[in-house]
Amino acid sequence: MKVPYISASRLKTAQDCSLKYHYQYEEPNADAVALKQLGNHRDSSQAGRLGNNVHDALEEWRRPDPETGKTPKPAFGRLMNLYKEVSATREVDFAFYEDGKKMLKRWFDRRGRAPVRVLHVELKFGNHSQPHIVQGTGTPVFGFIDLVIEHKDGTIELIDYKTQRLDITQGEADNNVQAAIYLLVARELWPDRPLQFTFDLQRHGTVTTVWTDERLDNFKDWLHGQYESILAIDGSNTLKVPATIGKGCQWCGFTDICPSAQSLMQNGAWDMINPTLSADLDDLLNELATIKASNAMLTKRKKAIDDHIKNEVFDRTMPVADCNAETENWSVEWREQTRRSYIPTEVQKLVPPTVFGTMVSLSNSAVDRVLPILPDDVADAIKRTQIVKPQRMLIIKPKESGDGKQDA
């Protein structure tokens, strides 16, 4: 297939499914173009637009003065004004807009007050037509580094802003392809400087990773192998490009034109399932992967049908009593139901603490979102109250063959 350059997102797409890479990045057919235009792009979602608004406001806020080269003083009011400006050009619902303001306030209290020496804002290496060529292997790469700062000890720090809800663990950061590509390029730009890469997670905190030269060299060789593996796939005929059926099918924007996905949705997985359990573990795992993929795509199809009925068959502005329809075999109506909820802070005022403790439960994600904005001693004290229990779980993933390709 054609590979003008490698990026973290392109590589992940190719590893997840070669056919999705083909639809997304190869010379597309009319159906693939139409599906991409329907909203497969990140910026089409509310969460995507919010992320871009926060990202753009932070970038402009950190941008040095073009005349003096000095970084502006860290003023929170200016950051809020920039956020309002970008939000006016890329609109989101009020709840998302308010979420962005809260994120930026937490971030400013945590990271924004300290002055930093900014070297680059949105440092681009290469472009779509002329990517950066990695020294030694010739692998073409392309990307943007959100922020590059220099510490007093000479260390160069690469920073990538993230507004995602999922946290990134230290182990994930230490093996992250995006971080490694950026560090690989940075080593060529600043060969004599210590380097580090930081995920600046607006909802959580920061995770920093440092790679040794030996590890970066190993990654450089691995990356080139991945590049050659994608190149070796015949993309001249869509029917020849292998599709990977898996849980990612639920979020894929191309299942409507994917032959494997369509076969599963039309025929189900029954023709691929043995009536008795196989004695061969590999056969069982293949069958399990097929069932999971079928379930994911059927869930996606169910949501599409539900949304169509709610938005196309019925008019959301109509009275609920008028929202009903009859067919030869079915009747459907929209019923108005009530859902109860309590405001924890109000209930807490009315009952003793011991009683309140039996009425509520804390989710890990809710606690993790608050920890970064608490004083360090309070956050550490809360962490010490964690109850950690060992838990066994099956981890099933496809193996990779010696040439870097996933086994079929």
Predicted local distance difference test score (pLDDT) of residue 340: 85
d(CA 74, CA 61) in angstroms, rounded, equals 8
Closest CA relative to residue 226, chosen from 397, 1, 396: 1
Number of other residues whose CB lies within 10 A of the CB of residue 64: 15
Closest CA relative to residue 11, chosen from 226, 184, 282: 226
Distant-in-sequence, close-in-space partners of 144: CB < 8 Å, separation ≥ 6: 122, 123, 124, 125
β-bridge mates for residue 123, sequence order: 145
**Chain-centroid distance, C-alpha 334:** 34
Listing DSSP states for 53-109 in one string gives HHHHHHHHHHPPPTTT-PPPP--HHHHHHHHHHHHHHS---HHHHHHHHHHHHHHII
Torsion of CA 49, 16, 291, 251, to 10 degrees: 10
Phi-psi region of 11 (alpha: psi -120 to 50; beta: other; left: phi over 0): alpha
The upper half-sphere exposure of residue 72, i.e. CA atoms within 13 Å in the direction of its Cβ, equals: 17
Torsion of CA 302, 305, 308, 313, to 10 degrees: -130
Reduce the DSSP state of residue 406 to 3 states and report it.
strand
Predicted local distance difference test score (pLDDT) of residue 273: 58
pLDDT in tens, the chain (408 residues): 778 899 999 999 888 889 988 888 876 666 666 666 554 444 457 888 899 999 999 999 999 888 888 888 889 999 999 999 999 988 888 888 999 999 999 999 988 888 889 999 999 998 888 999 999 999 999 999 999 999 999 999 999 999 988 889 899 999 999 999 999 999 999 999 999 999 999 888 899 999 999 999 999 999 999 999 888 887 777 777 888 877 777 778 888 888 888 877 776 655 555 667 777 888 888 778 777 777 777 787 888 888 888 777 777 667 767 778 888 888 888 777 788 888 888 889 999 988 888 888 888 877 887 787 788 888 889 888 888 888 887 777 766 544 433 433
Element (H, E) at 214: helix 213-232
Predicted local distance difference test score (pLDDT) of residue 398: 67
Domains of the chain: 8-13+39-232 (3.90.320), 247-313 (no CATH), 344-383 (no CATH)
Closest CA relative to residue 19, chosen from 5, 37, 35: 35
Torsion of CA 131, 178, 205, 188, to 10 degrees: -60
CA distances to 68, 233, 247, 250 from 254, in Å? 49, 19, 14, 10
Element (H, E) at 144: strand 143-150
